């Protein structure tokens, strides 16, 4: 089997981690293709709750090789921590299993400081980034001054390059932002250690992917963030700095579109967003509050409360369009239990004009003038956490899923009814 891409269909935190974990038994190599430790992917299985930031969400499956792909930006401190935590749980995180692509880029403490400084200088216009240095690291990559993971093969040379780039960043921090410089020597020494620790994990990521596909094995590609956070296709500038869409799997991992057999969009049965930016179906009332509490909608990475709202089908249609979705995984249906009636946005309206497309192309100010058009659907009160087959779902829950499938025009192949791996209704 060829490549399967798992991509967030909304603003992130849709449950990509649980979907990747659920599909991993079919896969040989599972690869993260974008983002960095701004991501927080949760896997609840085998009595563990893993909150993964860099390591692919298939790590509990011993037959899988996990690749951190070239499109990723890596904070080596965080990666070492994550490997240690997993090792502490008895998970094999040796260099034969966990691979780091040599063309991935390296996040420095000064990238993080610059992220914070840029956010502070935006004042009320702040993006609400995770302050993990994501934007500045991708900016250095695009400016062709970044550090690549492959440099860690020579820890001394790498440390020297780290020191030079930290000094460059320090000048910016001091002269432009009026901040204190960071200790370049000390950072270089720490990064020397990370390089010694990580260099055996380095690999030519594209070659590993090619070998996998040529051998007829399955490559599962794990996206971070979501479609509306994509640098090109999201709600710019309230986006992250990478290609979160399915195309990002091709550029991030280095293989061609003909290999892709399935593109699975992951969507919650409602909508959430962390950070600033437009969110037309946001609920600022007690229903939004209820969804936040019942759904545990607090950031996996930063602990920030997530903004919650009704499902927006125009967003899912947009995700189907820009990613070429072949299927949808609808997670967290259980969180809607007890809310009656349920509402879903089916279109937008402005001065008598109506569109069933998410008005992304009209820009953020224009988006604010469009009002979502809702349809009401009946809710259910039964606990659905034990459902494992379609027949186990109450008729109203079945109707909700069927309504989404029909409106988006993409088959739903998985329904999540709880965080645990087992709490899945597979419809394949």
Chain residues binding ligand GDP by CB under 6 A are 8, 12-18, 39-42, 44, 296, 300, 331-332, 334-335, 416-419
248: contact with ligand IMO by CB under 6 A = no
Nearest to ligand GDP of 51, 196 (CB atom): 51
CA distances from 291 to 94, 272, 277, 285, 317 (A): 40, 10, 20, 10, 23
Nearest to Mg ion of 40, 136 (CB atom): 40
Question: For 271, phi and psi rounded to 5 degrees?
Answer: -130, 140
359: contact with Mg ion by CB under 5 A = no
CA distance 364 to 374: 20
337 binds, among Mg ion, ligand GDP, ligand IMO, none (CB under 5 to 8 A by kind): none
CA distances from 427 to 11, 220, 388, 412, 415 (A): 24, 19, 10, 7, 8
Name the CA dihedral angle for 27, 1, 39, 324, rounded to a multiple of 10 degrees: -160
Nearest to ligand IMO of 109, 155 (CB atom): 109
Question: For 32, phi and psi rounded to 5 degrees?
Answer: -75, 135
Task: Name the closest residue to ligand IMO (Cβ).
Answer: 275
96-133 core/surface letters (b: 16 or more CB in 10 A; e: else): ebbbbbbbbbbbbbbbbbbbbbbbeeeeeeebebbbbb
- Compute the half-sphere exposure of residue 275: CA atoms within 13 Å on the CB side of its CA: 25
Q: Is 13 a catalytic residue?
A: yes
Nearest to ligand IMO of 301, 413 (CB atom): 301
Min dist CB 40 to ligand IMO, Å, is: 4
List the interface residues with ligand IMO, window 215-234 (CB under 6 A). 224-226, 229
Number of residues counted as binding ligand IMO (CB under 6 A): 24
Output the CA angle 382-385-390, nearest 5 degrees.
Answer: 80
94 binds, among ligand GDP, ligand IMO, Mg ion, none (CB under 5 to 8 A by kind): none
175-205 core/surface letters (b: 16 or more CB in 10 A; e: else): eeeebeebebeebbebbbebbebbbebbbbb
Q: Is 37 a catalytic residue?
A: no
Give yes or no for a contact between 374 and 343, defined as CB atoms under 8 angstroms apart: yes
Nearest to ligand IMO of 102, 224 (CB atom): 224
CA distance 373 to 330: 21
Binding mask 31-70 for ligand IMO (x = CB under 6 A): ----x--xxxx-----------------------------
The owner of tokens 């998985």 is 414
Min dist CB 112 to ligand IMO, Å, is: 10
Residue 182 tokens, joined: 């960071």
Provide CB contacts within 8 A for 137, sequence distance 6+: 36, 73, 105, 106, 107, 108, 111, 146, 241
Residue 366 tokens, joined: 């224009």
331 binds, among Mg ion, ligand GDP, ligand IMO, none (CB under 5 to 8 A by kind): ligand GDP
Min dist CB 426 to ligand GDP, Å, is: 13
417 binds, among ligand GDP, Mg ion, ligand IMO, none (CB under 5 to 8 A by kind): ligand GDP
Nearest to ligand GDP of 137, 225 (CB atom): 225
Min dist CB 231 to ligand IMO, Å, is: 10
292: contact with ligand IMO by CB under 6 A = no
Catalytic hit among 21, 28, 37, 41 = 41
13: contact with Mg ion by CB under 5 A = yes
137: contact with ligand IMO by CB under 6 A = no
Query: How many C-beta atoms surround the C-beta of residue 174 within 10 A?
Result: 12
CA distance 286 to 178: 43
418 binds, among Mg ion, ligand GDP, ligand IMO, none (CB under 5 to 8 A by kind): ligand GDP
CA distance 245 to 226: 7
The binding site for Mg ion (CB under 5 A) comprises 13, 40, 300
The binding site for ligand IMO (CB under 6 A) comprises 8, 12-13, 35, 38-41, 127-130, 132, 134-135, 224-226, 229, 240-241, 274-275, 300
Which residues are the active-site residues? 13, 41
């Amino acid at each position: 089997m060829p490549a399967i891409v798992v991509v967030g269909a909304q603003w992130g935190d849709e449950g990509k981690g649980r979907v990747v974990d659920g599909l991993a038994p079919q896969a040989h190599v599972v690869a993260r293709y974008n983002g960095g430790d701004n991501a927080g992917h949760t896997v609840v299985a085998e009595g563990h709750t893993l909150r993964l930031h860099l390591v692919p969400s298939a790590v509990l499956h011993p037959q899988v090789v996990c690749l951190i792909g070239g499109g990723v930006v890596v904070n080596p401190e965080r990666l070492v921590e994550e490997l240690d935590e997993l090792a502490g749980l008895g998970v094999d995180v040796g260099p034969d299993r966990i691979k780091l692509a040599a063309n991935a880029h390296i996040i420095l403490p000064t990238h993080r400081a610059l992220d914070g400084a840029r956010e502070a200088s935006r004042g009320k216009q702040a993006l609400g980034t995770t302050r993990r240095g994501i934007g500045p690291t991708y900016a250095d990559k695009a400016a062709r001054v970044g550090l690549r993971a492959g440099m860690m093969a020579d820890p001394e040379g790498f440390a020297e390059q780290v020191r030079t780039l930290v000094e460059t960043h320090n000048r910016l921090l001091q002269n432009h932002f009026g901040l204190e410089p960071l200790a370049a020597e000390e950072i270089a020494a720490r990064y020397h250690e990370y390089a010694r620790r990580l260099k055996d994990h380095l690999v030519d990521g594209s070659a590993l992917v090619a070998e996998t596909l040529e051998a007829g094995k399955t490559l599962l590609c794990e996206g971070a963030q979501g479609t509306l956070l994509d640098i090109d296709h999201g709600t710019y500038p309230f986006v992250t700095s990478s290609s979160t869409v399915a195309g990002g799997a091709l550029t991030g991992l280095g293989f061609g579109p003909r290999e892709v057999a399935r593109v699975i969009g992951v969507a919650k049965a409602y909508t959430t967003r962390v950070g600033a930016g437009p969110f037309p179906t946001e609920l600022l009332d007690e229903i939004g509050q209820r969804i936040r509490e019942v759904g545990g909608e607090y950031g996996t990475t930063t602990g920030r409360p997530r903004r919650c709202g009704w499902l927006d089908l125009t967003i899912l249609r947009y995700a189907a369009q820009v990613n070429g979705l072949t299927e949808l995984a609808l997670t967290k249906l259980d969180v809607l239990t007890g809310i009656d009636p349920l509402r879903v946005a089916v279109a937008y309206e402005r001065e008598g004009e109506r569109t069933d497309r998410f008005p992304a192309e009209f820009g953020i100010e224009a988006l604010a003038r469009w009002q979502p058009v809702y349809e009401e659907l009946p809710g259910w009160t039964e606990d659905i956490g034990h459902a494992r087959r379609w027949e186990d779902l109450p008729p109203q829950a079945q109707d909700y899923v069927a309504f989404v499938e029909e409106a988006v025009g993409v088959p739903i192949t998985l329904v999540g009814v709880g965080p645990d791996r087992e709490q899945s209704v597979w419809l394949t």
